[in-house]
Structure 1
């Protein structure tokens, strides 16, 4: 039961981040958050620790918590991770699709893009839009059919695991992100591995500049 409550608390924190109820620079009382979430302290603190481990939240002793202040070094690491790991995946998928036009991963990516297109209006919930964004990147990793690469979707390193990057003052428009995804998918469908890799780099550049 406590494990389930911890997960519920974690999900509530993620939703609060996505809904901009937690914003950069603000310090929040753990007791106040616990009351707002209508939960006991233990699952809330467990969820906070998980977010700390993921470098999503910072604990300020005797003061409270705040959204993690991403350092220049961490941004560089996110950038290198996304370029290296996802770049390899999109280049490989382009080569694979060139040989097999029925590739199931490409079919899924096309479907996700259709769904993302319907979410471009900022009035749609960010949660729904970002879930599709995340699935797009997860599918790139899963396209290799390699258990190790599949496990990397849970890494805190990729840009795709940090929705708050799209919710900064230098907010990216959903259309900008969508266009990057479409460019990646177009190159894959053309069997252009170099073009797919370059499109992925452009996407990572865009995310880097958002901070």
Structure 2
């Protein structure tokens, strides 16, 4: 009887923990989308209670989600006041793109150089799947968030193949800022279609083992992104 009681109590604790984690993740996804799509206004301070009230939940999962978004450099916390979207300038954007060219450009070359290997061929299949996901939603602007996720997975797959923890850690640190840059660019008409074409070109260079072509293709992809975003207000 005692063992049954302990087991039942343990199950309840596990259920509570999983439920709490799930709720925190849901709040995180909601807030991240709200930041990306402009639902949360830059320059305005929001309280934990504001989100808790609007989502009809307690403040604990809200606080946990906010802390994660702060770690990802998407939010700034002002004690006793609330949170604010962390601003992004065009100068910061250019620095992020420079980092991406240095790391992802090399990673694309590395993958092309090793494309004959079995694990590279497996990755190539995954990259093609991400491309197909992008093609499925490229003409639907309301699916920009889903497109962004496939876009990020496409690029991160290439970086991860290098098995260079310094590359991976650097890009992971910038991940949410990169996602914000991508999402912003996708608000421009025809950008999703253009991005698919640029990804397809990069994919083909890698597939045929063209190292220099892969680097040049990715560099042009970033230059196109910079040119496009020079016309966008990040506030």
- TM-score band by shorter chain is 0.7 to 0.9
Q: CA deviation at 1:16?
A: 2.3
Look up the match of 2:4: none
Question: For residues 22-50 of structure 1, what are the alpha-carbon distances to aligned partners after superposition, in whole Å with 9 as ceiling and x for unaligned?
Answer: 24444434321221122222221222122
Look up the match of 2:13: none
Look up the match of 1:43: 61
Higher helix share: 2
Among 181, 191, 194, the residue aligned to 2:212: 194
Aligned to 1:28, the other structure's residue is in SS state coil
* CA distance in structure 1 between the partners assigned to 2:143 and 2:187 by the alignment: 15
TM-score, normalising length from structure 1? 0.81
TM-score, normalising length from structure 2? 0.74
Gap runs ≥5 in structure 2? 1-16
Aligned to 1:70, the other structure's residue is in SS state coil
Among 147, 156, 160, the residue aligned to 1:142: 160
* CA distance in structure 1 between the partners assigned to 2:225 and 2:44 by the alignment: 23
* CA distance in structure 2 between the partners assigned to 1:95 and 1:72 by the alignment: 34
Paired residues in the alignment total 208
Gap runs ≥5 in structure 1? none
Q: CA deviation at 1:81?
A: 2.3
* CA distance in structure 2 between the partners assigned to 1:54 and 1:110 by the alignment: 28
The 1:184–1:171 alpha-carbon spacing in structure 2 relative to 1, beyond 3 Å, is: same
Q: CA deviation at 1:60?
A: 4.2
Aligned to 1:162, the other structure's residue is in SS state helix
Matched, 1:87 2:105: yes
Aligned to 1:191, the other structure's residue is in SS state coil
Q: CA deviation at 1:127?
A: 2.8
Look up the match of 1:133: 151
Greater Cα shift, 179-188 or 24-33: 24-33
Q: How well do the aligned residues superpose, as a CA RMSD in angstroms?
A: 2.9
Look up the match of 1:155: 172
Question: For residues 54-100 of structure 1, what are the alpha-carbon distances to aligned partners after superposition, in whole Å with 9 as ceiling and x for unaligned?
Answer: 11112345553232112455324412321122111100111112x35
* CA distance in structure 2 between the partners assigned to 1:177 and 1:63 by the alignment: 40
* CA distance in structure 2 between the partners assigned to 1:62 and 1:157 by the alignment: 28
The correspondence of residues 83-122 of structure 1 with structure 2, limited to 5 A, is 83-97=101-115, 99-100=116-117, 103-122=121-140
